[in-house]
Amino acid sequence: MSTFLGIPTAPRGVGHLRGDEPFPVAARKALANTQLRRNLGKATSTIRAKRAAVVAELPDWEELREAGRAIKAHTMRHLGHYLTELESQVTARGGTVHWARDAIEANRIVTDLVKATGADEVVKVKSIVTDEIGLNDALAGAGIRACETDLAELIVQLGRDRPSHILVPAIHRNRAEIRDIFLREMGGVDPELTDTPAALTEAARLHLRRAFLSARVGISGANFAVAETGTLVVLESEGNGRMCLTLPETLITVMGIEKVVPAWRDLDVFMQLLPRSSTGERMNPYTSMWTGVTPGDGPQSFHLVLLDNGRTAALADETGRQALHCIRCSACLNVCPVYERTGGHAYGSVYPGPIGAVLSPQLTGVEDNASLPYASSLCGACYDACPVKIDIPSLLVHLRARHVEETARAHRVASPEAVTMAAASWVMASPARWAAAQSASRLGRALGRGGRIRRLPPPLSAWTAARDAPEPPRQTFREWWRKERGSRP
């Protein structure tokens, strides 16, 4: 486990922040899956169009984005203050606040809380943070069954699969695949079940109804937590969230420490930015807001677990800290040309796409997700789509630099990037050397076909493994100038 300013990152061996293989290897497999690419292409283009339409409706969208950015930047600068304010407000209203340094500690806290109720089953609202820490595995280890109740999460859970998108985790599955999973895994399903989304949704409704009505413990994440009032906020669509947040006797909410917002009126901004950026709706069907315990209404025992797991390490990087501003809308995934082709699994972390490429390496330490900052063409579409204006392209470049520097420090030898850049600097420092190098590059034409070079010899093959290089021109600019004007430029 590495440290940044001595602050520990998320521990290895628990949770889902690291893939089994680097991005380029995983991406190659995903690219070969034509079904996956068709599903992704359809899904991302549908959400893009919906989002664009509802964003265009608001005359003050840019003002909202700027306010969102400013609120998040301010919160990060005073994170300790707002967390302790949140803690005292939640406590004053009858809730109990727990602090978890990492995934292992959070899993232990939640498992102990569930065990204390005597329940052997919990119902879960869709929550990426509980997936980040591998909570379901920890609960299973203690003999507690976690029942995912979001339709997509249910599909993923029954299919013994991994989520591939922040908003629609089963985006990689089509209706026929989902029908097969339900018939095989759900139990008691009509064998005549068709594969229309309506029929599949009805099957899930019936399957989950029993779990909701008898649930004793609910587990959720949080979209926002208001420090000023102690109010927790969860946005959703299906009503499974309301079921889990309302019907059980005990509610346990796990949230990353970066989800706190200072004031009630900050929801002015986020309740407009998030639904439109996320599902492309004016408002999502259901939002629940609760403060501590309300006598006679909903869970009478409420626990809030505040999770670090690498977030303070990200906070320590003054540039990288922006990644903590993310409100998990997934707009950056849907506009990303890389995500649209590879899907979420290739990123190896529960946080895929552009935001995942800048968040996951900071939570784990860059060396554990070293390929992710390179999983981008730096086209900038993610920056434009981000509702809180996270400058993802600049963060990617920043993390690439950190990776190069940290590798050099760790190995006490210059990295290939450093050697290349030093050589380029030497060549470019002298007009004669530069001209000679340009002439020499013409040799590269022998490798080209149709203006492109698809494979360079080692060590340059590392560059062409994931992209083509343009064929060098027949004539350099300097040569053209000398011929046309008869003198040196």
Partner 1 sequence: MTGPAARDEVLARIRTALGNSAPGGRAPDADPVPRTYRTSGELGAAELLELLAERLRDYGCTVRRTAPGQLMTAIGEALDRRAARRVVVPPGLGLTGLPAGTEIVADEGLSPAALDAVDGIITSAAVAIAETGTIVLDGSPGQGRRALSLVPDYHLCLVQASQVVALVPEALARLDPGRPLTWISGPSATSDIELDRVQGVHGPRTLEVILVEPEQAGQPGTPAPAS
Q: Is 216 in the site for partner 1 (CB under 8 A)?
A: no
Give how many residues touch partner 1 by CB under 8 A: 102
Q: How far is the CB of 337 from partner 1 (least distance, A)?
A: 19
Binding map of partner 1 across residues 220-259, x = CB under 8 A, - = no contact: ------x--x-x-----xxxx-xx--xx---------x--
* Strand 217-220 to 121-124 pairing: parallel
Q: Is 272 in the site for partner 1 (CB under 8 A)?
A: yes
Which positions ≥6 away from 327 have C-beta within 8 Å? 68, 223, 224, 270, 273, 274, 277, 387, 388
- In DSSP notation, 405-474 reads HHHHHHHSS--HHHHHHHHHHHHHTSHHHHHHHHHHHGGGGGG-BTTEE--PPTTTHHHHTSS-EEPPPS
Any idea which residue has 């029929």 for tokens?
A: 199
104 binds partner 1 (CB under 8 A): no
How many Å separate Cα 171 from the centre of its chain? Answer: 15
| Interface with partner 1 (CB under 8 A), residue from 22, 24, 94, 262 | 262
* Residue 306 sits in the site that holds partner 1 (CB under 8 A): yes
Q: Contacting partner 1 (CB under 8 A), which of 152, 327, 366, 399? A: 152
Compute the least distance from the CB of residue 107 to partner 1, in Å. 13
* Footprint of partner 1 on 426-485 (CB under 8 A): none
Residue 159 binds to partner 1 (criterion: CB under 8 A) = no
CB 427 within 8 A of CB 434: yes
Residue of the chain from 282, 433, 445, 467 that contacts partner 1 (CB under 8 A): 282
Give the separation between CA 155 and CA 159, rounded to whole angstroms: 6
Which residue type occupies 316?
A
Q: Which x/- pattern over 171-200 shows residues binding partner 1 (rule: CB under 8 A)?
A: x-xxx--x------------------xx-x
CB of 354 to partner 1, least distance (A): 20
Window 366-385: contact mask with partner 1 (x via CB under 8 A)? --------------------
* Residue 251 contacts residue 303 (beta carbons within 8 Å): yes
In whole angstroms, the minimum distance from the beta carbon of 400 to partner 1 comes to 22
Helix (H/G/I), strand (E/B), else coil: 189: coil
Query: HEC profile for 251-311?
Result: EEEEEEHHHEECCHHHHHHHHHHHHHHHCCCCCCCEEEEEECCECCECCCEEEEEEECCCH
132 binds partner 1 (CB under 8 A): no
Binds partner 1 (CB under 8 A): choice among 19, 30, 39, 90: 39
Interactions with partner 1, residue window 44-103 (CB under 8 A) = 46-47, 59-60, 63-64, 66-67, 70-71, 74, 77-84, 93, 96-101
CB closer to partner 1, 174 vs 476: 174
Query: Strands (DSSP E) along 145-187, which ranges?
Result: 145-148
Residue 105 as a binder of partner 1 (CB under 8 A): the answer is yes
- Write the burial class of residue 462 (CB in 10 Å: 0-12 exposed, 13-18 middle, 19+ buried): exposed
